[in-house]
Structure 1
Amino acid sequence: MSHLFWLDLQNLKRIQHLFPKPRGVARSDDRKVLSGISHVIRNGLRWRDAPAEYGPHKTLYNRFVRWSRLGVFARIFRELAQPGPDGKTIMIDSTHLKAHRTAASLSKGGLKPRAIGRTKGGLNSKLNTVCDGRGRPLTFFLSAGQMSDAKGALALLGSLPPAKILLGDKGYDADWFREALAERGIAACIPAHRGRRDPASHDPCMYRKRHRVENLFARLKDWRRIATRYDRCGELFLSAICIAATVIFWL
Structure 2
Amino acid sequence: MFLNGMLHVLRTGCPWRDMHERYGKWNSIYVRFRRWAEQGVWDARQELPAPNPRAMLADRSYDSDSFRQDLLIHGILPVIPSRKGRSVPQKTDWRHYRDRNRIERMFSHLKQMRRIATRYDKTALSFMSFLNIAAARLWIRSFVNVT
Common fold by TM > 0.5: yes
SS at match of 1:245: helix
- The equivalent residue for 2:138 is 248
Q: Please name the residue that 1:143 is paired with.
A: none
1:119 is aligned to none
Could you tell me which residue of structure 2 aligns to residue 115 of structure 1?
Answer: none
Aligned identity (percent) is 41
Work out the CA distance in 2 between the residues paired with 1:189 and 1:176.
14
Structure 1 residue matching 2:46: 3-state secondary structure: helix
Deviation larger for 210-219 or 232-241: 232-241
Partner of 1:178: 68
Match of 1:33 in 2: 2
Question: Does residue 231 of structure 1 match 2:124?
Answer: no
For 1:77, the equivalent position in structure 2 comes to: 45
Larger RCO, structures 1/2 (Cα 8 Å, 6+ apart): 2
Distance 2:140 2:61 in 1: 28
May I ask how many residue pairs the two structures share in their alignment? 141
Q: Secondary structure at the match of 2:92?
A: coil
1:33-182 residue pairs with structure 2 within 5 A? 33-73=2-42, 75-79=43-47, 161-182=51-72
Counterpart residue type for residue 73 of structure 2: E
Select the structure that is richer in strand. 1
Structure with greater proportional helix content: 2
Cα distance in 2 between the residues matched to 1:181 and 1:162: 12
Cα-to-partner distance string for 1:172-207 (whole Å, 9 max, x where unaligned): 223333233223332111012233343321122322
The one-letter amino acid paired with 1:218 is S
SS at match of 2:97: helix
DSSP 3-state at the match of 1:240: helix
Partner Cα distance (2:11, 2:47) in 1: 22
Cα distance, 1:236–1:204 mapped onto 2, change above 3 Å: same
TM-score, normalised via structure 1 length: 0.48
- The SS at the match of 1:66 is helix
- Ranges in structure 1 where 5+ consecutive residues have no aligned partner: 1-31, 84-160
Q: Which runs of 5+ in 2 are unaligned?
A: 142-147
1:70 and 1:182 mapped to 2: Cα distance?
38
What secondary structure does 2:98 align onto? helix
The answer to whether the Cα contact below 8 Å between 1:167 and 1:190 also exists between their aligned partners in 2 is yes
Provide the TM-score with structure 2 as the length reference.
0.77
